[in-house]
Amino acid sequence: MFTTSRTPDNYRHKLGAGVLLCRLTAVFSIVFASAAAWLAVDQHALLENMEDLQSRTLPNSMEHQRLARNLEVLRLEGERVLAADNPENRRQALFIVTLMAGHPSLLANEKARNLAIETEIFLTRAAQGSRIDENIRDEWTRISRHLSLTADDISVDGINLAREDVRQMNGLVEQTRQKLHGAVALVLGFLALLLLLIRRMILRPLQQIDHALSDLRQPGSAVTLPNYSLRELASVREAIVQLHGLMQEHESTRDDLQKLAATDVLTSLNNRRHFMFLAESELTRAQRYGRPISIGLADLDHFKHINDIHGHAAGDLALKAFADIIRSTLRHSDIAGRYGGEEFAFVFPETTPQEAVALAERLRAHLDAWVIPLKNGGHIRLTTSIGIADASAQALEDALRLADEALYQAKASGRNRTIQAKTTQLPLPLGGHTDNSGHSA
Amino acid sequence: MKYFLLRWHLSLRFAALTLVVLPFCSAEAEARELRVATLLTTTLQPQSKSDGKTGAIAELNEALAREVCRRLTARCTLQALPFPEIISEVSAGNFQLGVGNVLHTPERETRLLFSQPLWRSSSRLVGTPQAIREYRQGNDGEINLLSLRNARIAVERGTQQHRYVSALAPERKLVIVEATTIENTLQQLLDGHADFALMPMRSAYFLLAKQPANTVNFTGPALIEQGLGGTVHMILPKTATSLLAEVDTALDAMRADGTFQRIIRRYMPFLAD
């Protein structure tokens, strides 16, 4: 069982997710606060401008309008002085002219004050006269026009005062709007960058890790994960690599165990249990499709004699040599196994008994011609007796029994030969065809 | 039927209870009482209000005071006082509000609270034609308060005009003729006790307009320096800050809905604020 620490030393130099989050949060906070401060400056200026407009400019503008209106009242009362049809009306109008000419709003404006004084003096003298002649009317026309123009100028000045402030406010609002757009773009840009970083540093590695974990289920797969900058992901990557190594090791061990369980240790041929499993499967397949199949049993001749004369090591050497000859002589499709002691069993798929006999004969001949060198400088020669039986129409046990009987017959007939068992009609558990032809060699 | 009689009975009881309780509720809502000092313009009683000019300045002040009181939902008791008493009584807290053509000055601000401005005023000499003619000859055709010497000048006691002339008098050898009210100031002139009167123009207008022709006239330049002109306000005791805010709110509302302008127009042919 493997264990891994949460933050191995070799990842300490890498960036942790918590630290990354803190740094991103800090940067975002700074960016956002800067944008807010940037806007706050304009907002403050705008508020100051509005305050100025409200407390200074608008009252000042209204003051101009009042002054213009008072000048206009002065002019109208002047008209009334000259147009009055009796002295009392003229006197009353003159009173108002006097009052307006002395009004503080006019006195505070030099231009208006001088004009008001000129108007009052003129109208007072005109009212004192016996009649209003053309000269007086002409002069009054001039003064009246002057009053009107002055009132207009003052009124326009007042409007312009407010207009200038409003223009400044509009500029500030426009500037604030542009800054707001800039701030929004900045924040959006930062968010895009943040998402890009999250995708690159977290999401994509997670996807790669997911794929790698999925691939672990595939036998013989290779884990290819890049190095990650985040400490946690690097740690996960390392764990996956370790896990993959362990899984491969376990798979190899399992294969070895399976091989050990199915293989004879000395000859590396199938052991009896595995041979029986393979033979059963092959017979089932052949009988299902009505294909020919044969079974063979071979027993080394005088093997006990070899053991007795040359020792068990030579016996083992003989068994290995025979296994090598089996592997080199038989076809890849043939199945061979150590059946017990010096006895070997064969399955010949897609092979009639006659063809099997030919194969067995070739095997027997190879062994017969084979000289096995011993470590002591000597050598031994081996022969084998082989029994062949048709398995296309009978159960494995029956076919083996027939092959064994043929083997016994070969032994009895002087050894070093191959004998095909006589065909025996036996009932099959799941049907199949029978071949009664048989002969001995 | 029985059900309707029961409902009728209950409704009657509820109505009776409402009639008994409602006056107490109203009394609670209008419980505030204010003493308001207004300007006494004449010592002659009673004032005639038939032509809209006699005592008009006092009526204007009263009308403004009553409208403010109505908006404050206060029960106001108005009392006309000579000008100097308005300031002293309001300053002492004997009156919660003073409406008497009081100009704003730094000195008064130390003793009083001022409402937002009502209008503006300046001061000007008023003289008989004879006096104007005499003094014009002696002063190169010009009459100016600063150039007058050896003249008798009537002023209302306790006003800015009084303070100003008092300051000039020793050097210019001016004789101060003190008057108790604005009308009394003019009367001193008409009676020959004074050569000129220094009067606030807006108040003087109401008086001069009703005089026969060639009796009295404005003369010399209008003055706003040295506290002789400026903004006119309602006044309150120095401690009445919350009432001041209410008065200002009421004046704002009066200007906003045109009531203020209509009251002015009722007594004067122009606003000239």
Residues in chain B with CB shorter than 8 Å from the CB of A102 are: 122, 124, 201, 218, 221-222
Q: Percentage of residues in chain A with pLDDT exceeding 70?
A: 93
**What residues form DSSP beta bridges with A340?**
A343
pLDDT tens column, A173-194? 888 888 888 888 888 888 898 8
Chain-chain contact of A100 with B270 (C-beta, under 8 angstroms): yes
Residues of B in contact with A86 (CB under 8 A): none
- With cut-offs at 50, 70 and 90, classify the pLDDT of residue A172: confident
**Mean pLDDT within B260-268:** 89
Q: What is the mean pLDDT of residues A132-156?
A: 92
For chain A, give every residue range classified as CATH 3.30.70.270. 264-420
Give CA–CA dist B247/B272, Å, rounded: 22
CB A441, CB A420: distance < 8 Å: yes
Question: What domains appear along chain B, each with residue ranges and CATH number?
Answer: 33-120+230-267 (3.40.190.10), 123-227 (3.40.190.10)
Q: Which strands make up the sheet holding B152-156, listed edge to edge?
A: B175-179, B152-156, B196-200, B123-127, B217-223
pLDDT digits (tens, 9 = 90+) for B198-235: 999 888 888 888 888 888 888 888 888 888 999 999 99
CA A376, A379, A385, A390 dihedral sign is: positive
Quote the mean pLDDT of chain B: 84
Could you tell me the pLDDT band of residue A244, with boundaries at 50, 70 and 90? confident
Q: Are A225 and A233 in contact (CB under 8 A)?
A: no
Residue B87 has pLDDT above 70, yes or no: yes
* Backbone φ and ψ of B84, nearest 5°: -65, -30
By C-alpha distance, the chain B residue nearest A63 is B273
Higher pLDDT, A61 or B114: B114
Report helix, strand or coil for B75: strand
Which residues in chain B have Cβ-Cβ distances shorter than 8 Å to A92?
209
Measured distance CA(A317)–CA(A329) in Å, rounded = 18
A81 versus B142: the higher-pLDDT residue is A81
Determine contact: A101 vs chain B, CB below 8 A: yes
Residue of A nearest to B203 (CA): A99
Assign A432 a pLDDT band (cuts: 50, 70, 90). Answer: very low
Kindly state the percentage of chain A with pLDDT values over 90.
Answer: 42
Q: A103, B205: Cβ pair inside 8 Å?
A: no
A62 close to B (CB below 8 A):
no
Q: Do B272 and A70 touch (CB under 8 A)?
A: yes
Give the angle subtended at the CA of B36 by the CAs of B35 and B40, to the nearest 5°: 130
Buried b (16+ CB within 10 A) or exposed e, A122-155: bbbebbeeeebeeebeeebeebbeebeebbeebb
Smallest CA–CA distance, residue A74 to chain B, in Å, is 10
| CATH class of residue range A264-420 | alpha beta
Band of residue B271 on the pLDDT scale cut at 50, 70, 90:
confident
Q: Give the pLDDT band of residue B48 (cuts 50, 70, 90).
A: very low
pLDDT at A54: 86
Note the pLDDT of residue B52.
38
Strand partners, A338: A344
Instruction: Mutate one of B122, B202, B211, B233 to test the A interface: name it (highest A CB count within 10 A).
Output: B122
- What mean pLDDT is predicted for residues B79-94? 93
pLDDT digits (tens, 9 = 90+) for B158-182: 999 999 999 999 988 899 999 988 8
Query: pLDDT at position A222, please?
Result: 77
**B144, A117, B127, B208 alpha-carbon torsion, rounded to 10°:** -150
Spatial separation of the C-alpha atoms in residues A374 and A315, rounded to whole Å: 10
Considering only residues A148 and B136, tell me which one the structure prediction assigns the higher pLDDT.
A148
Torsion of CA B252, B257, B260, B261, to 10 degrees: 130
Which of B115, B127, B103 is closest to B240 using CA atoms? B115
Portion of chain B with pLDDT greater than 90, in percent: 51
CB pairs under 8 A between A and B: 53
Is the pLDDT reported for residue A354 higher than 70? Answer: yes
Length of chain A: 441
Letter for the amino acid at B130? Q
- In angstroms, the CA A267 to CA A263 distance is 8
Shortest CA distance from B142: residue in chain A: A121
pLDDT of residue B246: 96
Phi, psi (5° rounding) for residue B223?
-120, 140
pLDDT tens column, B89-144 = 999 999 999 998 899 999 999 999 999 999 988 999 999 888 888 888 776 777 88
Question: How many Å apart are CA A383 and CA A370, to the nearest integer?
Answer: 9
Is the per-residue pLDDT at A3 higher than 60? no
What is the mean pLDDT of the segment spanning A130-145? 89
A-chain CB neighbours of B124 within 8 Å are 98, 102
Residue B19: both structure tokens together? 């009639």
**Model pLDDT for residues A367-390, shown as the tens digit of each residue:** 999 998 888 888 899 999 999 999
Instruction: Measure B272 CA to nearest chain A CA, in Å.
Output: 6
Provide the pLDDT for residue B58: 86
pLDDT above 60 for A431: no
What span, in angstroms and rounded, lies between the C-alpha atoms of B199 and B155?
7
Say which amino acid occupies A9: D
Instruction: Give the residues across from B120 on adjacent strands.
Output: B231
Residues of chain B positioned with their CB less than 8 A from the CB of A69: 271
Rounded to 10°, the helix B201-208/A87-101 angle is 170
More confident residue, A98 or A9: A98
Nearest Cα neighbor of B100 from B140, B152, B58, B128 is B58
* C-alpha span between B20 and B172 (Å, rounded): 70
Integer Cα distance of A239 and A223 in angstroms: 11
> What type of residue is B225?
E
What's the pLDDT score for residue B44? 58
* pLDDT (0 to 100) of residue B136: 81
The tokens for A328 are: 């080199």
- The whole-angstrom separation of Cα A239 and Cα A213 is 11
Q: Are B76 and B247 in contact (CB under 8 A)?
A: no
Q: Mean pLDDT across the stretch A325-354?
A: 94
Q: Report the mean per-residue pLDDT for chain A.
A: 86
Give B209's contacts in chain A (Cβ within 8 Å): 92, 95
pLDDT at residue A231, rounded to an integer: 84
- Its ipTM equals 0.73
Count of CB atoms situated within 10 Å of the CB of B102: 25
A99/B contact by beta carbon, under 8 A: yes
What pLDDT sits at residue B125?
92
CB neighbours of A270 closer than 8 A, spacing ≥ 6?
A262, A263, A264, A278, A335, A336, A337, A338
